[in-house]
Amino acid sequence: MPLLRPHPLPQSPPVHIGHLSGVAAFLMWGLLPIYWKQLEAVPSLQLVAHRVIWSTAVFLPLLVWWGGWSQFRDACSRPEVVRRQAVAAVLVAANWLGFVWAVTHGRMVESSLGYFLTPLVSVILGVVVLGERLRPLQWLAVALAAVGVAWIAAGYRHFPWIALFLAGTFSTYSLVKKTTKLDALPSLTLETVILLVPALAYLAWEHATQAGRFGTLSPATDALIAATGPATAAPLLCFTIAARRIPLSTLGLLQYIGPTLQFVVGVWLYHEPFDRTRFIGFVIVWTALGLFATDGLRRMAVKR
């Protein structure tokens, strides 16, 4: 998930709650593949459509309770904001689809690689789109990451497209979000509302053609599908608490909990292939991330 600016909370929790909330958010995001793995019998596109619908059903009441309704209503009346959020909605839906597809098709390790690469792809987008300049250590990190991806691709003659797709859509989504001043919950609610009609239309078509899975498999599966709303909202709420309470540098380091857990779950729980070639490629990428994090920490130390 991107580092979005949250809406102020009704009450101010103790400072340590921020760290606990941040860890909780990224733990949930890292363990969510186990949840999606239970829904392998449902096509990925249907899962994303259900996620949109059930998330909207959770976000709208939360918006009223949390005090962001006026901002949401104001945003809906401004065409330029709606257009920008529509682009973000398409990007987040594409990222959700790629992630769910990867998890349900035995590509969890590759999806974790995508989220490891996301900060570096964001840096590249900053150079290309925003005209930002990279420092030498950042250039080295980007170059090393490219070597790691090339190594994996050459070793298997299989381009890790899902990793780059996830990194690309998520980074571009984050870039689009930089142009909006909406708080986290109103922004994400507007995105799901924009996607709501297409999601409902698609699922209606699937059920009309007897291809819909909701209500046809088991009550347990239906319950899991309906719970995609809370599963989406819970880590976001924890994240918004953390984003208010701890420094951005700390939050940036905590975000690696997610892909690390995805990697561990894929390799040790679901026994996805991870041999010497993949190991070397990942070590190169992890080294790049280490350099990137070191550069960021040095910059923070200089500013202090």
User: pLDDT of 95-124, one tens digit each?
Assistant: 999 999 999 998 999 999 888 888 888 888
- Percent of the chain scored above 70 by pLDDT? 89
pLDDT(215) > 90: no
Domain assignment of residue 2, yes or no:
no
User: Into how many domains does the chain fold?
Assistant: 1
- Rounded Cα–Cα distance for residues 164 and 141 (Å): 16
- Answer yes or no: are the C-beta atoms of 59 and 185 closer than 8 Å: yes
Is 59 domain-assigned? yes
pLDDT of residue 225: 93
Tell me, yes or no, whether 248 lies in a domain: yes
Q: Calculate the CA 241 to chain-centre distance.
A: 17
In a domain, 6, yes or no: no
Q: Is residue 8 part of a domain?
A: no
The amino acid occupying position 21 is S
How far is Cα of residue 263 from the mean position of the Cα atoms in its chain?
Answer: 15
For residue 252, what pLDDT band results from cuts at 50, 70 and 90?
A: low
304 — pLDDT class (breaks 50, 70, 90): low
Q: Helices 257-264 and 15-37 sit at what angle, rounded to 10 degrees? A: 30
Report the percent of the chain where pLDDT is more than 90: 35
pLDDT given at position 282? 87
Q: Residues 6 or more apart from 116 whose CB is under 8 A from it?
A: 256, 259, 282, 285, 286, 289
152-185 burial code (b ≥16 CB/10 A, e <16):
bbeeeeeebebbbbbbbbbbbbbbbbeebebbbb
Domain enclosing residue 113, as ranges: 15-299
Query: Which pLDDT band holds residue 243 (cuts at 50, 70, 90)?
Result: low
Q: Does residue 42 lie within any of the structural domains?
A: yes
Indicate whether 4 belongs to any domain.
Answer: no
- The token pair at 105 is 């098709």
Return the residue matching tokens 């090393």: 144
HEC readout, the chain: CCCCCCCCCCCCCCHHHHHHHHHHHHHHHHHHHHHHHCCCCCCHHHHHHHHHHHHHHHHHHHHHHHCCHHHHHHHHCCHHHHHHHHHHHHHHHHHHHHHHHHHHCCCHHHHHHHHHHHHHHHHHHHHHHHCCCCCHHHHHHHHHHHHHHHHHHHHHCCCCHHHHHHHHHHHHHHHHHCCCCCCHHHHHHHHHHHHHHHHHHHHHHHHHCCCCCCCCCCHHHHHHHHCHHHHHHHHHHHHHHHHHHCCHHHHHHHCCHHHHHHHHHHHHHCCCCCCHHHHHHHHHHHHHHHHHHHHHHHHHHHHC
Return the amino acid letter for 29: W
Q: Does residue 9 fall inside a structural domain?
A: no
Which band of pLDDT confidence, cut at 50, 70 and 90, is reported for residue 12?
very low
